[in-house]
A and B are shown apart, each in its own frame.
Chain A
Amino acid sequence: MAAITLEKLNKHYGSVYHAVKDVDLAIADKEFVALVGPSGCGKSTTLRMIAGLEDISSGDIRIGGRIVNHLPPRDRDVAMVFQNYALYQHLSVYDNLAFGLRNKKTPEADIRAAIDRAAGMLGLHELLQRKPKQLSGGQQQRVALGRCIVRNPQVFLFDEPLSNLDAKLRAQMRIEIKRLHAEIPTTSVFVTHDQVEAMTLGDRVVIMRDGRIQQIGTPLQVYGKPANKFVAGFIGAPAMNFIDVAVAVSPSGVTSVEAWGIKLTVSDANARALAVRNGDRVIMGVRPEHLMLGDGAPGMGFDAGVEVVEQLGSEILLETLVGNTSITAARVPAETKIARGDQVRLSVQPGRLHFFDPETELPISA
């Protein structure tokens, strides 16, 4: 049983740099939480404070109900996987796995059993006698995972463990970590800058920027109902399109938004929230995957000039220009005959528009 609670957690480096600001986060027992954000957003620092590798400036960290603020790492019963594996290079894989248990003077027979179990789970049996240097990156990271598993800790901490792997291995290891968590449900905190990893792995995703939490939610929540423009732009690939538009309410009560001579009708849910802002400028967000080729629903189409065509095989990504704003459209069927310079008709799926206040960047909703 090990829930993790962070309360008003702060980290200052000297008097100038405030890396983590008032972070409040409650992670349930056996939950898998992904911390995601751009470089320097404080996610790794937060993780390292949970591990005890960084002092905290103020606030509280509880693991399993116990305040661990000033406990050294070894007394927190956590295990950590590092970005560059951090294996003990001159020890064999077996000795690497045994290291933590030997620290605790565990009998060799128990160690062998624990390693046998972990090696079975991770497919390490053939590698046990090798040195880390003789392993590929993916194998080394599996050993690092094994080193955590054998200790059977209360909490797993992952510090960008997949960043050093190539794209294919990354996808494989992602599945492996997901499978491991299903087999050994242990409270896990996973730090990454890759929103795909965060979305696929996390039961919940925590998005951070400039040391502050922007949003905490399930992958569907942060994708469907982003808490602000930053989250909307950060989650989802390719990133959401943002267009500066003006709100117009017709005498008959139809709300629409206009930019570059284009007029889109706003659906009911958003219309009510926008109606009070008649004449104001707001930021409209639309995800590339919610733009289709063709006319679509009435009042939802517009013309765009094709700038770049990215053929992915399964689909085409279109980089288009509307007025002086670039708009990316995904999900264009791969067979579509399209070339740079063409004019295409794009339409937005109804109910897929997001609106943000240009000042506060918060969503405009009813």
Chain B
Amino acid sequence: MNLATLLSADLPYWAQSLLRVLGGLVAVLLPAGTIVYLFLFKMMSFMQSRLGPMEAGPQGSMQLFAEVGKWLQKEDIYPARADKFIFKLAPLIVLASTFLLVVVVPFGPDALFTNFETGVFYSLAVSSVSVLGILIAGWSSANKYSLLGGLRAAGQLIAYELPMVLAVVGVVIQAGTMNLQQIVVAQNAGSMFGFSSLGNPYVITQFVGFIVFMIAVQAELTQTPFDMPIAESELVSGYMTEYSGFRFLIFFIGEFATAGVFSMIASILFLGGWAVPFSWFGWTTIDSIDNWMNIVGPLILFTKMIVVVFFIMWIRFSYPRFREDQLQKFAWKVLIPVSLANIMVTAILKVAF
């Protein structure tokens, strides 16, 4: 049976909503857990010639549950002079932005939360909401290091949001749509010079856009070459300094879940998303896709996400941090002109062919 008919016809509204909420939780928490274990624990340890956590479970695979249990047991403390309500609200805004982001990600031909016509635009808009949470987290902590971290984060996230938006415009021009599902279809139903067995993944035609997008994602996630906001040698831990227990856990989940969701969006925009090239199975349109893609599609997307996160983490563990002025110069004087040039070239080629 088709998943769409199952979800729309046979279940009452509350059951559909419950399924969607559960699906959203899985789509946010599963990538976050995988990324933390696979990359933060094991890959980082490998690159530093150590074993990493080994005690909890085989190869330390249960370490995450131990960590979460530890964080949940901690006392919920806040600084005496903090703005309590806003201090408690801030991590929730950051996590809410992640959940809003996952809503438009398509996982299969019918396995999606919403088929939003302007999905690309929406995802870029709601990802900018997290800046607000980070900024007020820094301010409400009543700590100068937190405030400095929050201000640095805001400056950096705004600066790198622009190249991110501009890098995506190239993809939107080439696909002719802002619907993420149709961008996936356009890549896998397409062909390069009549050669269709690879589809037309935009990572090839939009290579410049892909590089700019990935650099901007690295900065949006405040991963290491761009970790000025939480620079531990200068600012203790930036806007997160005063957070402990489960509020820190929310920031932590938010960071890695957002890494997962951004990587999913990157794989959808540039690597063909959940689908395989349609010519492999003789599909032509989205309606002719076999139903088993609803099960395999999420796995394909998950694999692509892991590959993208691998590169993000590889860079994170390899490079030292940018200075604040280098960071701003790089965004405004290199990435934005490059992505604007990319838009112009893409538009000219689109009209020419």
Do A and B interact with each other, yes or no? no
Residue positions of B touching A, CB distance < 8 A: none
